[in-house]
Each structure stands twice: as structure tokens, then as C-alpha cells.
């Protein structure tokens, strides 16, 4: 096919100069858009930050006021009153929980002693760990009673936690055949649990008019009566 | 204009945001403290209301059981009264003074737990028979304030029993309140 001359084409040809001009216009347009965007965004952002700063400072002032009011609502006197009551109640609870009945010690010794066993002396001491230690001088009419009593003290169901006999001495009868006896020293330990004070009849001491008037027994030189109720009896005698 | 925007960003917006964050941190701290103070006030109010609901007679009984101070003369008078009512013949009543000691080493010692009380020693010696002595001991056990028997010596004497009883009476040690309550420690 033969070449068509360019002057006969109805389609206009682009020149080099027109392409460059259009590129510069496009860049300048984008830069303008960015500039205007920054110009609008910067003050807007500044205003927003300023408003948020005001809001935050107001929030801070409010929380400070609330904290001051809360601290002002605290009463030192009331705190002291509550603390004192709590301390008193706690200490009183400890005292009550560790309160022991010395009379209970005597009751246990009564029930765990044979009817013909006697105590000629007794020393009781409260230990720091709330237990009670008892040292007693015991007298028995003969060895059989002493052996029986020792067996009672050594029983596992004995409410006395620790019981031991020592310094055993035999005194033979005199010429008239009387006075035979066996003396020994007893050491006993009672735990706080076994002699804990229990409320059964809270009669105040000031109104204890119903207490029995004791009968003095001048012939009884031992601490425990020879016929204590509930005493262990020696069935072998 | 771009430079102006950048200048606004660097000179105002960023520093202001840093300040706002610092204030927000402060707000968080204050809110935490407010919660703790409010909690303390609430619990203090609850405990105070609970104490106010306790009958006055019970509160007075508790104060009698563990008083703030020692009245040794009244205590000795009470001992004499109890002895008279139970039939004990009193030989002497003595006040030995403050017997508060350092807690012993044993872990189960009562003295280790009694950190807020003082103990005072009283002694009474007398003569009675066996049942009277037991009744006297029982009467001491139910007293309005505790007589804690420390030691007892009993010996036969001319048809009766002579005894020497040493007891401890406890008094509460008062704790002075602090001027700035520490909200970090739990209340009660």
C-alpha cells in the first residue's frame, strides 16, 4: 500500500510543547489541593486539640474536687472509735478463748482419784502456753491403792493430759498396826482444751447468795474428801 | 501554607497533646485514689453502723471485761467481796503491779497473741475448806472482768486449807490514731 502524506490526514497531530504544559499544570493542581487541605486541617486540628484540652482540664478539676470532698468526709474520731472497739473485742475474744477453769482441775482430780486417796498439798501453775501444771503430794493407805491409782492415771481416756508419780515412800504401820501409808508426788498437766471455761450458769459473783455455806471439817487434813462423788472406786479392795 | 501547617503541628498540636496525656495520667491516679478513699469511707461507715447497733449493755459489758485503765483498789475490794460471799477467810490481798512480759518463744503462747493488753498481778491468801475454795474459784471465773489464775498453792492448816492465789487482771492498751490515715492498709 503506498504511504499516505501527513498533510492529507484529518487527525491533528500532537506537538511536544503541549505535553509538557499539561504535566506542569497537573502537579501544580495537586500541590494546591494539598496546600489547601493543610491550611484547613491545621486550624481545625488546633481547635479540636484546644477544646479537648479544656475538657480534660475540667475533668481534672472535677476529680480533684471529688477527692477533696471524699477526704473531707473521713472522720478521724470515728476511725479511732472503730479501731478501739475492734481492738478491745479481739483482745477480749482471745482472753475468753484462753480462759480456763481451775475448779475444773479439782473436779478432774476428784473423779480420777480413788475414794481413799488424799492430797496433802497442791501447787498449781499456769504455763505460758495456756496449759496448767499441777504438783501434788498424794497419800494412799497401801501399795494396792497406789498401784490402782497409778493405773487410773495412765489410762488413755484420762482427761489429764500428762500424769506421773514419783518420790514414792512407804511408811510402815506403828506398833499398834495403824499409820501405814504410801506417799508420793504427782505431776499433772492439763491442756487448755480439757479445762476450758464453759458458760453453764453465769451467776455474777455479787449475787452468789445461793452458793452453799461450806461445813468446816476440822478432822480432814487432806484437800479432797474421802467420799467425793464420782470418785473412782478400787474394786480390788 | 504547608510550612504553616507543619509549624502549627510542631509548635502547638504536639506539645498540647503531650500536656493532655500528662493530665489524663494524673486523672487516672486521682480516680484510683478517689476509689480507695471512697472504699475506706464506706467500710468505716459500715463498721460504725454495726457498732451502733450493738446494745449499749453489751458494749458496757465489753468495756468492763477489758477496761482501758486499772483500778487496783476496786479490784481488791471485789476480791474481798467475792471471798466474803463464798465464805473464804481472807488473810491478805496484795497488788503486785504490772506483770506484762515479752512473749515467750513457744508458738502457741497466749502472750504472743495478746499484743494489745497489759496484765497486772493480784494475790490473795486465805483459809477455807475444800468446797469453799472451789466455790471461790468458780465465783472468780464468772466475774465481770477476767481473773486469770496464774498460780495456786494449797496446804492443809489446822483442819482447814490455807491457800495463796495469784491472778492476772488484763487492761487494754489504747492505740493513738494517726493524723493521716493510710488508705493502702486495709481497715479492720
| Alpha helices by DSSP H, A10-167 | 16-72, 76-97, 102-111, 143-154
A20 touches chain B (CB under 8 A): no
Is residue B77 located within the same domain as residue B95? yes
Query: Alpha-carbon torsion A211, A212, A217, A222, what sign?
Result: negative
- Rounded Cα distance between B149 and B94, Å, is 14
Residue B187, in any domain of the structure:
no
Question: At B152, is the secondary structure helix, strand, or coil?
Answer: strand
Residue B171 DSSP class: E
Question: What cell was used for A108?
Answer: 478432774
Q: What domain count does chain B have?
A: 2
**ipTM, interface predicted TM-score of the complex:** 0.78
Domain match, B64 and B153 both:
yes
Portion 30-49 of B in contact with A at CB < 8 A: 30-31, 33-34, 37-38, 40-41, 44, 47-48
Q: Mark whether B79 and B134 lie in a shared domain.
A: yes
- Whether residues B93 and B166 share a domain: the answer is yes
Tell how far CA B144 is from the center of its chain: 17
Q: Which chain A residues in 46-75 lie under 8 Å from chain B, judged by CB atoms? A: 46, 49-50, 52-53, 56-57, 59-60, 63-64, 66-67, 70-71, 73-75
Tens digit of each residue's pLDDT (9 = 90 or more) over A76-126: 999 999 999 999 999 999 999 889 999 999 999 999 998 889 999 999 999
**Cα of A175 vs its chain's centroid, Å:** 66
Tracing cell 497419800 back to the chain, one arrives at A139
Beta bridge pairs of residue B97 = B121
In a structure prediction context, what are the per-residue pLDDT tens digits for chain B, which is 188 residues long? 788 888 888 899 999 999 999 999 999 999 999 999 999 999 999 999 999 999 999 999 999 999 999 999 999 999 999 999 999 999 999 998 776 654 444 444 444 445 688 999 999 999 999 999 999 999 999 999 999 999 999 999 888 999 999 999 999 986 544 444 444 444 44
Instruction: Give the domain-ending residue among B20, B36, B53.
Output: B53
Instruction: List, edge to edge, every strand of the sheet that includes A132-140.
Output: A162-171, A181-190, A132-140, A118-126, B148-157, B160-172, B117-128, B89-98
Q: CATH code at B110? A: 3.30.70.60
Domain boundary among B53, B73, B88: B53
Q: DSSP letter string over B3-58?
A: HHHHHHIIIIIHHHHHHHHHHHHHHHHHHHHHHHHHHHHHHHHHHHHHHHHS-HHH
Judging contacts by C-beta atoms under 8 Å, the chain B residues touching residue A213 are 87
Is B140 found in the same domain as B73?
A: yes
Domain region containing B21? 1-53
Residue ranges of alpha helices (H) inside B87-158 are 110-113, 130-141
In this structure, the answer to whether residues B45 and B65 fall within a common structural domain is no
Tens of pLDDT, residues B165-188:
999 999 998 654 444 444 444 444
Q: Is the pTM of this model over 0.80?
A: no
Among B95, B82, B149, CA closest to B122:
B95
A34 with B138: Cβ contact below 8 A: no
B83 in a structural domain: yes
Same domain? For B80 and B103 the reply is yes
**Shared-domain flag, residues B96 and B117:** yes
Asked if the structure places residue B182 within a domain, the reply is no
User: How many residues would you count in chain A?
Assistant: 237
Q: Kindly state whether residues B123 and B69 are assigned to the same domain.
A: yes
> Where do runs of H (alpha helix) occur along A155-206?
none
Asked whether residue B99 falls in the same domain as residue B48, the answer is no
Amino acid at each position: 500500500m503506498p504511504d499516505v502524506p501527513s498533510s492529507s490526514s484529518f487527525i491533528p497531530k500532537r506537538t511536544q510543547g503541549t505535553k509538557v504544559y499539561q504535566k506542569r499544570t497537573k502537579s501544580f493542581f495537586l500541590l494546591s489541593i494539598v496546600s489547601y487541605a493543610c491550611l484547613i486541617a491545621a486550624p481545625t486540628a488546633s481547635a479540636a486539640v484546644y477544646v479537648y484540652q479544656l475538657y480534660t482540664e475540667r475533668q481534672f478539676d472535677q476529680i480533684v474536687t471529688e477527692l477533696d470532698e471524699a477526704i473531707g468526709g473521713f472522720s478521724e474520731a470515728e476511725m479511732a472509735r472503730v479501731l478501739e472497739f475492734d481492738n478491745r473485742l479481739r483482745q477480749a475474744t482471745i482472753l475468753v478463748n484462753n480462759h480456763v477453769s481451775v475448779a475444773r482441775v479439782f473436779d478432774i482430780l476428784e473423779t480420777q482419784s480413788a475414794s481413799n486417796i488424799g492430797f496433802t498439798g497442791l501447787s498449781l501453775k499456769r504455763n505460758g502456753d495456756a496449759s496448767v501444771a499441777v504438783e501434788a503430794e498424794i497419800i494412799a493407805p497401801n501399795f494396792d491403792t497406789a498401784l490402782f491409782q497409778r493405773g487410773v492415771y495412765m489410762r488413755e481416756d484420762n482427761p489429764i493430759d500428762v500424769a506421773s508419780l514419783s518420790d514414792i515412800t512407804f511408811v510402815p504401820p506403828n506398833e499398834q498396826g495403824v499409820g501405814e501409808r504410801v506417799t508420793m508426788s504427782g505431776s499433772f498437766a492439763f491442756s487448755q482444751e480439757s479445762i476450758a471455761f464453759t458458760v453453764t450458769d453465769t451467776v455474777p459473783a455479787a449475787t452468789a447468795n445461793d452458793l452453799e455455806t461450806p461445813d468446816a471439817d476440822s478432822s480432814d487434813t487432806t484437800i479432797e474428801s474421802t467420799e467425793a462423788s464420782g470418785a473412782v472406786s478400787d474394786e480390788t479392795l | 501554607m504547608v510550612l504553616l501547617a507543619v509549624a502549627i503541628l510542631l509548635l502547638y498540636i504536639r506539645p498540647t497533646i503531650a500536656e493532655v496525656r500528662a493530665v489524663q495520667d494524673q486523672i487516672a491516679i486521682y480516680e484510683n485514689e478517689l476509689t480507695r478513699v471512697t472504699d475506706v469511707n464506706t467500710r468505716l461507715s459500715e463498721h460504725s453502723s454495726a457498732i451502733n447497733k450493738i446494745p449499749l449493755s453489751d458494749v458496757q459489758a465489753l468495756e468492763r471485761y477489758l477496761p482501758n485503765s486499772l483500778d487496783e483498789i476496786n479490784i481488791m475490794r471485789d476480791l474481798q467481796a467475792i471471798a466474803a460471799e463464798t465464805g473464804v477467810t481472807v488473810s491478805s490481798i496484795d497488788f503486785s503491779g504490772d506483770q506484762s512480759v515479752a512473749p515467750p518463744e513457744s508458738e502457741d503462747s497466749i502472750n504472743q497473741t495478746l499484743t494489745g493488753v497489759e496484765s497486772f498481778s493480784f494475790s490473795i491468801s486465805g483459809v477455807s475448806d475444800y468446797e469453799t475454795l472451789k466455790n471461790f474459784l468458780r465465783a472468780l471465773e464468772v466475774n465481770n472482768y477476767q481473773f486469770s489464775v496464774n498460780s495456786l498453792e494449797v496446804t492443809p492448816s489446822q483442819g482447814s486449807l490455807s491457800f495463796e492465789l495469784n491472778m492476772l487482771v488484763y487492761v487494754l492498751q489504747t492505740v493513738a490514731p494517726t493524723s493521716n490515715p493510710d488508705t493502702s492498709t486495709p481497715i479492720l
